[in-house]
Structure 1
């Protein structure tokens, strides 16, 4: 099994709000990957005493444990349990009903000798390469499908589309959101490689259009996740006129997990 992981903050010296892990059970059979992209809140009240990195570390740690220790529990149920556990860790001190309570996007994958399972919630990506080289991007595109008018302001997003029917969903305090995730199962023989990317890394394809998803997996296999993140950073620095970035932040936390199970 080959595994490579890189996670880099968007701004040096500022905490990385992403989380990533690859786990292998003591038996050495199978494994799982977790990639979370913490949602940076706008300035102002969040109702919580804790930071986004605190939340992603708690949730990511719980997911790493549960996806390995409970191999027969579906990934959506593992996410639900991890969210409930994380919420319980600060429910007594924080207002978890606040729309800006710490939250994150989620990518999970778990493999055994027979199956590969996956789960995606919000705008991170999971790339699945077949033995023949075809690449499928598994995406939760609900945020991308929203009209720009719905995203005009943070207050409007919170009031009308965040974690609401007809909008988009992130992993926050409500464990039931796990039912909203994109999930699937594939025969193990249909998968040669997996790559989980937060949106700071998917910029290579989605923002700068340097290649398609198959090109992205080829780059990861040949040069590794660090090379992809370095290329994204170079493109961001070169976009001085913000032709590609527009109103997006110059640099974002970027995480890539590449696995050949």
Structure 2
């Protein structure tokens, strides 16, 4: 697979997204921004987590091209836990975490995995489908204590952190490569263009193909500046700016 990509940190912050591309797969991670003063029990932050998890995922996907994506992710989370078990409290529910989106060519199929709120979007036969894991949108309360209670718990939401079993809760599937005309992988810093600002996935594809992936990020930033009041869902107010990353498969 050949990809064009772009990534940009939210203004004034370090970029907690991490993208890895190869001829057979793409891995996109979005580190969860930690609230100020939050006790995570960990000496590391989201940037360390996404880089470390990404390294383990890339190694595993390269070594075993036929392994199930959920098994690969579970093994990578276990490996990350071993990397910082000696310095950090892995029982702390606020340990650094990340969303995960993976696509892989395997034979005649495109396989995908999505954990938490990044997205895989593809078009086949003129029909666009966006694959995401929207369980964070179903939460009734978003204060730090409520989120910690349901994070990586049945009935709550799942994210890559210190629980390898979260991989088994990811959204997985496959589609035939034959007839697959468009494909992109993105973080929620990109999907907000559709989910909050009224764009459509066909329009996102067209903009990325016509002007390049960076133009999609620029479009997001414009909307964040001029219509921040739209970043509200079920009474939850989302941050005005977010890290934004997308990878577009070239035709």
TM-score using structure 1 length:
0.90
Change (3 A) 1:221 1:133: farther
**Whole-Å separation in 1 of the counterparts to 2:179 and 2:74:** 28
**Whole-Å separation in 2 of the counterparts to 1:260 and 1:135:** 16
CA contact (8 A) 2:99 2:159 kept: yes
Instruction: Tell me what 1:109 maps to.
Output: 103
Instruction: Tell me what 2:55 maps to.
Output: 61
**Whole-Å separation in 1 of the counterparts to 2:127 and 2:220:** 23
CA contact (8 A) 2:6 2:245 kept: yes
CA contact (8 A) 1:127 1:217 kept: no
* 1:85 to 2:84 alignment: no
1:159-218 Cα shifts (integer Å, max 9, x gaps)? 2x2111111110001111100000002222142222111111111101111x22222222
CA contact (8 A) 1:39 1:105 kept: yes
TM-score using structure 2 length:
0.93
* 1:167 to 2:156 alignment: yes
Q: Once the 2 structures are TM-superposed, how far is the Cα of residue 15 of structure 1 from its aligned partner?
A: 1.5
CA contact (8 A) 1:197 1:255 kept: yes
Change (3 A) 1:123 1:238: same
Instruction: Tell me what 1:138 maps to.
Output: 131
CA contact (8 A) 2:221 2:241 kept: yes
Task: Select 2:182's aligned residue among 171, 190, 193.
Answer: 193
* 1:233 to 2:221 alignment: yes
**Whole-Å separation in 2 of the counterparts to 1:221 and 1:187:** 22
Alignment root-mean-square deviation, CA: 1.5
Task: Select 1:212's aligned residue among 178, 200, 206.
Answer: 200
**Whole-Å separation in 1 of the counterparts to 2:138 and 2:74:** 25
Task: Select 2:167's aligned residue among 150, 168, 178.
Answer: 178
Q: Once the 2 structures are TM-superposed, how far is the Cα of residue 260 of structure 1 from its aligned partner?
A: 3.4
Q: Once the 2 structures are TM-superposed, how far is the Cα of residue 113 of structure 1 from its aligned partner?
A: 4.1
1:72 match: secondary structure: coil
CA contact (8 A) 2:4 2:250 kept: no
Instruction: Tell me what 2:4 maps to.
Output: 4
**Whole-Å separation in 2 of the counterparts to 1:143 and 1:95:** 24
Structure 1: tracts of 5 or more residues without a match: 25-30
* 1:259 to 2:245 alignment: no
CA contact (8 A) 1:23 1:68 kept: no
* 1:39 to 2:21 alignment: no
CA contact (8 A) 2:119 2:188 kept: yes
**Whole-Å separation in 1 of the counterparts to 2:106 and 2:179:** 12
What is the aligned residue count?
A: 246
Instruction: Indicate the larger mover: 184-193 or 45-54.
Output: 184-193
**Whole-Å separation in 1 of the counterparts to 2:208 and 2:126:** 13
**Whole-Å separation in 1 of the counterparts to 2:110 and 2:16:** 27
**Whole-Å separation in 2 of the counterparts to 1:69 and 1:158:** 34
